[in-house]
Structure formats: C-alpha cells, structure tokens
Amino acid sequence: MKGRLIALDHVQGAEAAALMVDGRLEDLLIDSDRPRPGAIYRGIARRPMKGQGGMFLDTPDGAVFLRRVKGLSPGQPVLVQVSGHPEPGKALPVTDKLLFKSRYAIVTPRAPGLNVSRSIKDDAARDALLELAHHEMGGGGDTGLILRSSCAGAEPAAIAEDIRAMADLATAVLADADGTRAEKLVEGDGPHALAWREWTDPAQVETQAGAFADHGILDQLDALRDPGVPLPGSAWMSIEPTRALVAVDVNTGGETAPAAGLKANMAAARDLPRQLRLRGLGGQITLDLAPMPKKERRGFETALRAAFRADMVETALAGWTPLGHYELQRKRDRVPLTEVLS
C-alpha cells in the first residue's frame, strides 16, 4: 500500500499502534505493565543519595530516582514526571521539570515564555500563533507554552482547545502538589493517544480489530524477533542487546568490491534509527562497522546524524573509539520489544 497508514489495534491483549509508510513499518508503540513515560506522581522524598547526585522518592508504583538533592528534605512531597524506562535493576527515572504535552501544545510550569516551533518558518503564521498563545495564556505568570510544529496548517480552534486543556491540567496538578501521601496524579499516554499526539502528518487511520493482520504488520513484527537486518545487496547488520549495551555488527556479506564496506555502513546508518525504534532499544549502543577507509568516516557521520535528526527519540552521537567502533547514547523511552511480546 502506498502512502501513510496508522493502524490502532491490540497485540497479545496490549494496546498497540503502528505507522506504515508505503507498506513498510516505520514506527511501533506497544503498551506494557510498566509506568508510562509522562506519568506524573506526587512522590515523597527519602534520604538524599549524595554519591549518586540524587534522591529516591516513594510512589504508588515503587521507588523512583530524581537526579536532584538541593532543596529537598526527607518526607517532603515532590511533583515528578516519568522521563523514560530504567536500565535493568535500576529505579525508574523521573524529573521535576514537568511537561504537559498534547498534539499542538506543550505547557511548561515554572518555565515561562511563549514559543513557536522553529520548524514553522512563515512569519505570518508565527505571528498568528503567538497572538493565539497570548490570548489563551494571558499573562502566563510562571507557566510557559510551546506551540509544536503540528500547528502548521491546523485549525486555530483546535489549537486553542489543546492549549486550554493542557493549561487546565497543569493548574489542577500544581494545586495538588502539597498532599501528604504518594499518589499518581496523571497517567502517561498509551499507544493510541501517543499516535494521535506524535504522528501528525496526514495519514489513513485504521481502528478496526484485526488491522495489524489485515495490513501485514504482524508479519513485520515477527521479522523483528530476528537480530539480523538485510541491507542492499548481500550486506546485513545484526542488532543484539546485551545487559551492558546494544551491539550492532555491520557486514558486507559476499561483496568484495573496494567500496563494499562504505556502502554497507551508509545503508546501516540510514536504517538504524528505524530499527532501534521498532525494537524499543536504548541506552549505550556500539557500532562495529564494516571495514572502510578513515577518510570516509566524516561522510558516514553526516549520514548517521541526518538519519537520527528525523527520529523522535533523543539520541547523542558520542563518536569513535580507539578500536574504530562508533558509539551512541539513546534515551530509554520504550520497553524492548522482546519484553512486551512473548
């Protein structure tokens, strides 16, 4: 099928959403029983962990870790938001910089200012959006607003409704900050809500039961169970998570031409963000690339940077190791696919 398709369905009883582009799976969201990123708690501070530069807090879903000590004392209630998924054996990471995010608007308590996404270049459109932001937020006080790139071409009434909904939610949560017990105040968005929020380009939307099977998504999910990923020609890469890191091995296969290594590495760079998204992998990632001349490294880095620029998951390109490997650090904002599918 040509074009963009968003399928909202369930997999093994869990809510799931898939984004297809020209018949290829581009993004995948599957719910799990873990706390969702974006959930907001009123946590109760324990003692500071000075050696770790943070503090553990009690929540209804267990202990969480806030990377902050200054200004906190044991027993103090603190509003925190789940910022990702933890490394194995570690506490859930949270932040006290709350974001109330929807399709068009992000409301930012304690971070004042009205801003429009830089990707909206048209001056008239920016001025109209800022006028709308001023109208809906008023003085704003200590609360800021970011209008997202999805506002481009959207109906002003829909944007205004989104701003009001997030501002009202922020006000309600902040008013509930001083309770004496740990409590979950806001649930994080599930896959269907995230698909509506983040996949904003025009697309056909399928919501009927069995949509994943009807559009071949289940077959592509089965392929993701294999660490091997075919690349153009006979090249391939293997993506294998270990306890310490995710190892990516790029191979030329049967090709022996002088440029075979560079071709395989460039193809791997272009497809790597998609593969990591679909597999739900994050943390430290080490690339063992196919042999190529050192003079080609800059071109490879350019291709890799361009590929990750379009990816919604925050990824830092750390650079080359003395052994010639390339390292990345990627936010853990998804549960690994192998843990949500049996």
pLDDT per residue as tens digits for the range 277-298: 999 999 999 999 999 999 999 9
pLDDT band (50, 70, 90) for residue 90 = confident
State the average pLDDT over residues 120-140. 92
Q: Which of 306, 210, 269, 267 is nearest to 18 (CA)?
A: 210
40-97: what CATH class?
mainly beta
pLDDT band (50, 70, 90) for residue 87 = confident
Pairing between β-strand 92-95 and β-strand 4-11 as defined by DSSP bridges:
unpaired
Cα angle at 167 between 60 and 31, to 5 degrees? 45
pLDDT of residue 82: 97
Residues 71, 73: Cα–Cα separation, whole Å: 7
Q: What is the mean pLDDT of the chain?
A: 94
Does position 88 have pLDDT exceeding 90, yes or no?
A: no
In the beta sheet, which residues pair with residue 66? 55, 94
State the average pLDDT over residues 219-247. 95
pLDDT band (50, 70, 90) for residue 139 = low
Does position 318 have pLDDT exceeding 70, yes or no?
A: yes
Radius of gyration, alpha carbons of the chain: 22
Q: Which of 68, 16, 341 is nearest to 210 (CA)?
A: 16
pLDDT of residue 138: 82
Query: How many CA within 13 A on the CB side of residue 143?
Result: 24
Residue at token pair 């919604």? 312
- Is residue 144 within 8 Å of 113, Cβ to Cβ? yes
CATH number, domain 226-340, options 3.30.1490, 1.10.1740, 3.40.630, 3.40.50 = 3.40.630
pLDDT of residue 196: 97
State the average pLDDT over residues 52-68. 91
